[in-house]
Amino acid sequence: MKPKSRADDFSKSNGSEEPGQKSLRLKDTGVDRLPQPFRAMILEPVLQLRGESAQAELRGNRSPEARLEEALGLSAAINLNIAHSGVVRVNNPKPATLFGDGKVAELAGIVASEDLDLVVIDHPLTPVQQRNLERRLKTKVIDRTGLILEIFGDRARTKEGRLQVDLAHLTWQKSRLVRSWTHLERQRGGAGFMGGPGETQIEADRRQIQDRIIALQKQLEQVRRTRDLHRKKRKKIPQPVVALVGYTNAGKSTLFNRLTEADVFAKDLLFATLDPTLRKIKLPHGREVILSDTVGFISDLPTHLVAAFRATLEEVLEADLILHVRDISHSDTDAQAEDVKKTLTDLGVSAQTGAPIVEVWNKIDCLDPAYRDKLLDGQGEEGPIALSALTGEGIDQLSARIDAFMAQKDDVFDVVLPVSDGSLLAQLYQMTEVLERTDGEETIQATVRVSDKQRGPFREKFGAHIES
């Protein structure tokens, strides 16, 4: 049995406890998971940077209250018991603690009086800031990235999903080992006075984590190769792929279930879906397409998280059509849409270089009728599709739009088949959509629609029967 390492201990405890600080015993799953339930405080820092443009560039155009609401939604996703929350104005961010000494002392008093187990700072924290805040507040502190990682660790179900979560967490954890150890003495190498300085405990732990990262990357590479093989196989089948993308909690999984009559986990929670799901659906004219549900996007998603989940998001890269699902009832729907577009661009997907993108305005049942009519007025046939995945309103229009889009790539042929060859006629119905058919005494004349994916196999099979 492999001896237990200090790196293993790190996944169970923050390791930097001061006298009186709570020790969190976490299950060693490779991911720093929080026990349940936790009494928590959620803070939304608003940094007063130089110039309005700098602030806007840092956190987008959302109001502090909207960002706090999103942070509360993220916290609810892992069932945190929110005992205290609020917006904190930071006029002069401190490199050591982010907040000023007075505010830190005030927060420490709240933590002590409310007996809080966790403080969530909805803002990136440096390792030093996280360590110092944990010492001053005498409780565990995590930032936005840590919170998202907790959710990911809780939601991942497939082997691939768990590997991606572990990789993302270890990559983030590697830079934070500075907070884990108060003993920085060197472990001497060799014997006697001539022994070398050896390596610090931090260096040893960082090396162990790097080894685990390399091992996970190798496993994920195998997963990617397997997924690539599956994609190549799908390219050989006639059905095109339609991918659902959107901000987290926009209603993608609910729409997926509505279209496919599946039972994918769908709940009013942020990041309810982490693992991609594919199902075959039939459109109004009988055409079949494959619908793909993907992980939701979010603002300020760290780049290493996007990189870790690239294997999952590559389903979007291979799609024939992308449906950008928006929660049109959300107060920050425009800002959310920009975040999705930015993430798609980072993945190399755009309306100019990738698959066409159609906006789907979900949750119209939550809109005020007057505002809804004003919003939808003048959108036109090529504009966004407005619907409610929950009630089913507008689903037929979406199916028709997908059908019409796929038909644009189709070719129409006139074929003549001998009446005696029933198997050839059966294959015609399997490979094409028969628009018109006329039965004669010796021949069958048919007008058929052929998808772009079936164009080659169709010409190979029916080339001699196509009328010029």
pLDDT tens digits for range 52-110: 444 444 445 678 888 898 888 888 877 889 999 999 999 889 999 999 999 999 999 99
What is the b/e burial string over 91-124, where b = at least 16 CB atoms within 10 angstroms of the residue's CB? eeeeeebbbeeebbeebbebbeeeebbbbbbbbb
| pLDDT tens-digit map of 16-27 | 444 444 433 333
Query: Which percentage of the chain shows pLDDT scores above 90?
Result: 24
User: Which segments within 111-240 are labelled E, that is strand?
Assistant: 118-121, 140-143, 186-189, 196-200
Q: Mean pLDDT, to the nearest integer, of 405-425? A: 88
Percent of the chain predicted with pLDDT > 70: 71
Q: Where are the domains of the chain?
A: 6-155, 237-407, 410-465
pLDDT at 437 over 90: yes
pLDDT at 296: 74
pLDDT above 70 for 6 = no
Provide mean pLDDT across the span 392-414.
Answer: 89
* pLDDT tens-place string over residues 22-46: 433 333 333 344 445 688 999 999 9
Q: What is the pLDDT of residue 369?
A: 85
Report pLDDT digits (tens) over 307-342: 656 655 666 777 889 999 999 998 889 988 988 888
Is 3.40.1160.10 the CATH classification of the domain at 6-155?
no
**Region of poorest pLDDT, from 92-96, 116-120, 148-152, 223-227:** 223-227
Task: From residue 260, give the alpha-carbon distance in Å to each of 256, 268, 382.
Answer: 6, 19, 24
pLDDT at residue 143 greater than cutoff 60: yes
The CATH code of domain 410-465 reads: 3.30.70
449 compared with 188, residue with greater pLDDT? 449
Question: Is the Cβ–Cβ distance between 84 and 114 less than 8 Å?
Answer: yes
E-assigned strand segments in 339-410: 357-362, 385-386
H or E element in which residue 65 lies: helix 64-76
pLDDT digits (tens, 9 = 90+) for 190-218: 443 333 444 466 677 777 778 888 887 78
pLDDT winner (highest mean) among 122-136, 229-243, 338-352: 122-136
Task: Find the range with the poorest average confidence among 55-69, 329-343, 374-388, 393-407.
Answer: 55-69
CATH number, span 237-407:
3.40.50.300
| pLDDT over 80 (residue 445) | yes
298, burial (CB in 10 Å: exposed 0-12, middle 13-18, buried 19+): buried
- pLDDT for position 137: 95
Q: Are 147 and 129 in contact (CB under 8 A)?
A: no
pLDDT confidence of residue 294: 75
Average pLDDT over the chain reads: 76
Check for a shared fold between 6-155 and 410-465. Answer: no
- Residues 227-255, mean pLDDT to the nearest whole number: 77
Rounded Cα distance, 116 and 420, in Å: 80
- What pTM, to 2 d.p., does this model score? 0.69
